[in-house]
Amino acid sequence: MTKNFLTRCLFLLALAMAVIACQKEEKKRIPMPTTDLSKVSLMPKPLKTVPTHSAFALDQFTAIYTAKGDTGFEQVGKFLSKKLKSKIDLEIPVNQATSNTVERIIYINQSDSVKLGTPEAYQLYINQDSIILNANTAEGAFRGIQTLRQLVPETSNDTLAEQSIWPVPTGKITDSPNFAYRGSMLDVARHFFSVEDVKKYIDLLSYYKINVLHLHLSDDQGWRIEIKSWPKLTEVGGSTEVGGEAGGFYTQEDYKEIVRYAAERYMTIIPEIDMPGHTNAASVSYPFLNGNGKMPKLYEGTHVGFSTFDTRKDTVYAFVDDVVREISAITSGPYFHIGGDESHVTKKKDYIYFVNKVEKIVQKYGKRMIGWDEVAIADIDSTSISHWWSSEKNAKKAVEKGMQIIISPAKKAYLDMSYDSLSKHGLHWAAYIPVDTAYVWSPEEYGEIPLEHILGVEAPLWSETISNIDELEYLAFPRVIGYSELSWSIPKNRDWEDYKIRLADQAPFLDRMNVKYYPSPLIDWKKSKFSYEKIDKD
């Protein structure tokens, strides 16, 4: 055996290995959109899905048509077109005169026959040459197009046709929410978040059919909304935040823009002015408000429960009246949240006196009052709403008063609780909340709240430990997706094993949106098939 011969053998061996490697490469998974409607990872899970195992070929010959008039359907069609353009870079015309290039249509139809009992219900009929979305209201149609956005594959099926086609699996989806109120809360008081950040959060939430964003606009560390009759609230009270950074606030124009942007996504903004506790920033701005007997100073720490308004002064109620009036005038939704939590330095009788009076002020300006669960100890009206975060006793008291309850138990639904002891952000006074704990519980059975008293579910995100959008996203995603399913989908359709696969399949969307979600080790993100099925080349 010469050296030369050996070199040649080694060379041939290397070549053979390279060829085998190439063949293996060939056999690698090629993403192929599924034609099985029941296999697409929809989030939240729809009420009912019936696959018919074929595909609607979404392509350049597709057009969107909608119900006309001022019903809002045309805007929904345009929203869909815009979102598909950014997803797959395809321009889909909306309500343009029929031309002979149109081969397939998406029709967004106003239909009174959708008998699902809620304004947000919709039906999707996907056939080979048409997709028909039926809804009673544009709000229902808007929820329906979120499902349709999720049905369109991320990449086209280039191998099967001359032009790009995005096959949408055929079948029928019938859908309607389990709860009318599906929310998240953002604390913009402990750390301020810009209008752009809030808009991004709204846009992401609306993709998952969440329809309420509650903004915690004031706390000890900051006052975040312009009140024209009391300008120092923002000049002084808005000037700092936890950690001593610059703080910030929304002008009324900013706030109106947030409300408008949310309304475009059929989302209600709920303003919260937390009182009579959590009011240090207001009292620093106008010291006559203060009732804790100390000289108020700007506060950049994270303790709670040390501040209170002086509940026995008429001028305090004149102040509250102005604040509620100005904010209510620029809030299109029906609710006003008065906080009412952790008023540890307010005497019980003063607290009751205060809440009773403020409830009337809120009603005077045409809003329904919401308060954290403590408010149930006052003489509350049955039309007001209790926001259960901590005390089951208070929640039951609210039920006895005939009130509706929003379910936000800190142990299960607080987005500011860390995932585990290694988490970069968050607190853990209530619990560690890994992604499975966040999902595997039932709002319907949490405590003994009769179902008819449950308005819905909300996941609050307190911001003591987060100061920018990346950190916000780290705590909110992916858990908030689970809360969307807990509030939209019926218990029978919720299952952790099935959910965690669908959750992994959210990665391409979240990545495309540049969402810095927490890559929980409980989720097999890599194994995700991204809504595609494997095709075997053999």
Return the active site residues: 342
Q: Does residue 304 bind ligand TNX (CB under 6 A)? A: yes
Q: Measured between alpha carbons, how far is 148 from 510 in angstroms, rounded to an integer?
A: 17
Q: Considering the rule CB under 6 A, would residue 458 count as an interface residue with ligand TNX? A: no
Which residues make Cβ contacts (< 8 Å) with residue 499, sequence separation at least 6? 45, 439, 482, 485
Least distance to ligand TNX, CB of residue 218, Å? 11
The residue with tokens 């595909």 is 55
- Cβ contact 376:341 at 8 Å: no
Give SS3 for 527. Answer: coil
Residue 361's closest CA among 313, 307, 319, 415? Answer: 319
Coil, strand or helix: which one is 360? helix
State the number of binding residues for ligand TNX (CB under 6 A): 10
DSSP letter at 521? T
Cβ at position 367, least distance to ligand TNX in Å: 19
Kind of pairing, strands 104-110 and 62-66? parallel
What gap in Å lies between CA 473 and CA 201, rounded to an integer?
Answer: 8
What is the smallest separation between the CB atom of 448 and ligand TNX, expressed in angstroms? 21
Note whether 372 binds ligand TNX by CB under 6 A: yes
Least distance between ligand TNX and beta carbon 409 (Å) = 10
Pair of tokens at residue 244: 């001593």
**CB 357 within 8 Å of CB 307:** no
By CB under 6 A, tell whether 416 contacts ligand TNX.
Answer: yes
Query: Residue written as tokens 């190439």?
Result: 22
Residue 272 is a binding residue for ligand TNX (CB under 6 A): no
In the complex with ligand TNX, which residue's Cβ is closer, 37 or 225?
A: 225
The span from the CA of 240 to the CA of 234, in Å, is: 10
With CB under 6 A as the contact rule, the residue among 102, 116, 236, 427 that binds ligand TNX is 427
377 contributes a contact to ligand TNX by CB under 6 A: no
Nearer to ligand TNX, 76 or 472 (CB): 472
Does 473 bind ligand TNX (CB under 6 A)? Our answer is: no
Cβ-based nearer residue to ligand TNX, 156 or 386: 386
| Residues 6+ positions from 419 with CB-CB distance below 8 Å | 426, 432, 433, 434, 435, 518, 520
* 462 counts as binding ligand TNX under rule CB under 6 A: yes
Q: Which of 50, 35, 62 is nearest to 160 (CA)?
A: 35
Of 527, 531, 496, the closest CA to residue 150 belongs to 531
Which of 368/425 has CB closer to ligand TNX? 425
- CB nearer to ligand TNX: give 45 or 191: 191
Burial class (CB in 10 A: 0-12, 13-18, 19+), 522: middle
Name which of residues 55 to 114 contact ligand TNX (CB under 6 A): none
Least Cβ distance, residue 47 to ligand TNX (angstroms): 32
Give burial (CB, 10 Å; 0-12/13-18/19+) of 257. Answer: middle
Could you tell me the smallest distance in angstroms from the CB atom of residue 457 to ligand TNX? 15
In the complex, the smallest distance separating the C-beta of residue 422 from ligand TNX, rounded to whole angstroms, is 19
* Of 65 and 414, CB closest to ligand TNX: 414
Contact in structure between 199 and 261 (CB atoms under 8 Å): yes
Q: Are 447 and 395 in contact (CB under 8 A)?
A: yes
Choosing from 166, 193, 230, 389, the residue that interacts with ligand TNX (CB under 6 A) is 389
Binding of residue 342 to ligand TNX (CB under 6 A): yes
Looking up tokens 């979240």 gives: 510
Q: In whole angstroms, how close is the CB of 345 to ligand TNX at the nearest point?
A: 14
Residue 219 — left, alpha, or beta (φ > 0 → left; ψ -120 to 50 → alpha)? beta
Give min distance, CB of 53 to ligand TNX, in A. Answer: 48
Among 139, 341, 359, 473, binds ligand TNX (CB under 6 A): 341
- Interatomic CA distance for residues 308 and 115, integer angstroms: 49
Q: With CA atoms as reference, report the closest residue to 446 among 179, 253, 177.
A: 179
* Residue placing its CB nearer to ligand TNX in the complex, 175 or 341: 341
Question: What is the DSSP code (8-state) at residue 200?
Answer: H
Which residues of the chain form contacts with ligand TNX (CB under 6 A)? 304, 341-342, 372, 389, 414, 416, 427, 462, 464
